[in-house]
Amino acid sequence: SQQGEEDPQALSIQEGENATMNCSYKTSINNLQWYRQNSGRGLVHLILIRSNEREKHSGRLRVTLDTSKKSSSLLITASRAADTASYFCATMDSSYKLIFGSGTRLLVRP
Amino acid sequence: DTEVTQTPKHLVMGMTNKKSLKCEQHMGHRAMYWYKQKAKKPPELMFVYSYEKLSINESVPSRFSPECPNSSLLNLHLHALQPEDSALYLCASSQDGGMSTDTQYFGPGTRLTVL
């Protein structure tokens, strides 16, 4: 079953702009992860943030986690056309199962 | 080698056919997963194998039968499927399956169409 919701469902931006996606979840978590999926293909792990962390960076990616609000955000800075993909947050529950959010479809226009 | 491979890439089958999906990894991972993904939806967990034993079955119908012959291979046997089973089937692996920092590595998926 789906753990949480992401918004927006779809996002269209110009190359060079920043993209922000939000994720909300329902239950307590061990960690929260973000994955990218190019159209109809497998998922690629982007970043993991533990429940006791508030912010994490990886290259052009910045992830925040607010466990009091049960929410996370993914910021992609200086976007490129190659960033066009679907982005999913996923939470790991107490039985180590990964449960994905509804996803955000990002389109970066050249 | 950080790759998970899946075969076939595409599969079309009738409702009376029996077919199998295959997944392989050589990263020494001891946990392997099957997910089902419908169009424009997130992946949904079907099965988890940990150390070659089935540890999670998410109430999947018996027409889907997983098998883990060894620590590198994972199969999904399909029999008497329904058209609504058409989807992208994703395999993934992770180091342990029981660690809070476990990262899953996904294969490219098998696009299944049931006629």
pLDDT tens-digit map of A8-46 = 999 999 999 999 999 999 988 888 999 999 987 889 999
Strand residue runs (E) in A28-82 = 31-37, 43-50, 55-58, 61-66, 71-76
CA distances from A97 to A3, A93, B36, B52, B54 (A): 11, 6, 15, 17, 14
**% of chain A exceeding 70 in pLDDT:** 96
Beta carbons of A108 and A15 less than 8 angstroms apart: yes
Q: Is A110 exposed, middle or buried (0-12, 13-18, 19+ CB in 10 A)?
A: exposed
> Per-residue confidence at B97, pLDDT binned at 50, 70, 90?
confident
* Terminal-to-terminal C-alpha distance of chain A: 36
Is A42 in contact with B90 (Cβ distance < 8 A)?
yes
Give the DSSP H or E segment for B56: strand B53-57
> Per-residue confidence at A1, pLDDT binned at 50, 70, 90?
very low
Interface check for A95 against chain B (CB to CB < 8 A): the answer is yes
Beta carbons of A48 and A63 less than 8 angstroms apart: no
Interface check for A33 against chain B (CB to CB < 8 A): the answer is yes
Bridge partners of residue A72, in order along the sequence: A23, A65
Q: What is the mean pLDDT of residues A59-83?
A: 97
Top residue of A98, A99, A104 to mutate, by most chain B CBs within 10 Å, is A98
Is B105 in contact with A2 (Cβ distance < 8 A)?
no
Locate the chain B residue with the closest alpha carbon to A1.
B44
Interface check for B46 against chain A (CB to CB < 8 A): the answer is no
Is the pLDDT reported for residue A87 higher than 90?
yes
Locate the chain A residue with the closest alpha carbon to B5.
A42
Residue A97: per-residue pLDDT: 82
Distance from CA of B60 to the nearest CA of A (A): 12
The whole-chain average pLDDT of chain B stands at 93
Closest to A101 (Cβ–Cβ): which among B42, B45, B105? B42
Interface check for A25 against chain B (CB to CB < 8 A): the answer is no
Return d(Cα B100, Cα B115) in angstroms, integer.
Answer: 40
The residue with greater pLDDT, B99 or A80, is: A80
Is the pLDDT reported for residue B2 higher than 70?
no
* pLDDT tens digits along B5-44: 999 999 999 998 999 999 999 999 999 999 999 999 999 9
